Amino acid sequence: MKYKKYFFFFIFVIILLISLNDYKKEEKLYHIQQQSIKKIDNINIKSPVLGTVKKPLKDNVLTFRYTYDGLGLLILPNKIKLNIKKDSSKKTLDSLAVGLVNGSDDIKDKNGSIIIAGHNMKKVFNYLHKIKRNENIIIYTNEFIETFKVVNKQTIKETDYSHFKKQNKKVLYLITCTKKEKERLLVTALLDKEQELS
């Protein structure tokens, strides 16, 4: 009986250490990823990504420019900024970025379905479970800023592609996991405002 008590305590400590190690890995990845997203406050700075930035943006939430690693930045209502990559492979998503799903239209297209996947993790798409209608999601690139308004949130089957039809307007779909293995959370947002950057 005495040894049994020690055995369970030992197992508990091991599980705790493994969880702590996973948390530290996630934190490290997050900080590495955030280092590639830099706010440029000096608007006359020369940047290899942006070129010479002459003036801040007008009439927009963003009054500065970012550098990023990928196609652009996805900015969620809780202010989390995520690099958008061209694919949604395991390697991409494990780097705490988000990626275009196979079959998605290009983020630069004027119309179409932009389908972006990301892990259901605290510093990635975990917020999607709390997102509400009419909240704004921003896609930021060197060429434009687009603001999308959330119109729907639903749970779908992992293999259900019926929601991603070709559109005459620009629609943003964000997908992440749920607690059920064969289900996905799908957030739909429609283009509300766009601004070209010069």
Tens of pLDDT, residues 68-87:
678 888 989 988 888 899 98
Tens of pLDDT, residues 6-37:
676 777 667 766 765 666 666 665 555 555 55
Distance of CA 20 to the CA centre of its chain: 24
How many C-beta atoms lie closer than 10 Å to residue 49's C-beta?
Answer: 13
DSSP reduced 3-state for 30: helix
Listed by start position, the domains of the chain span 1-35, 69-196
The model's pTM is 0.70
Name the β-bridge partners of 191: 148
Q: Compute the mean pLDDT over every residue in the chain, rounded to the nearest whole number.
A: 77
pLDDT at 29: 57
Distance CA 186, CA 171 (A): 12
pLDDT at 147: 93
Residue range 69-196 forms a domain whose CATH class is mainly beta
Distance CA 145, CA 41 (A): 17
pLDDT at 176 over 50: yes
Provide the strand spans (E) within the chain.
38-40, 46-47, 51-52, 65-67, 72-75, 81-85, 98-100, 112-117, 136-140, 144-157, 170-177, 183-196
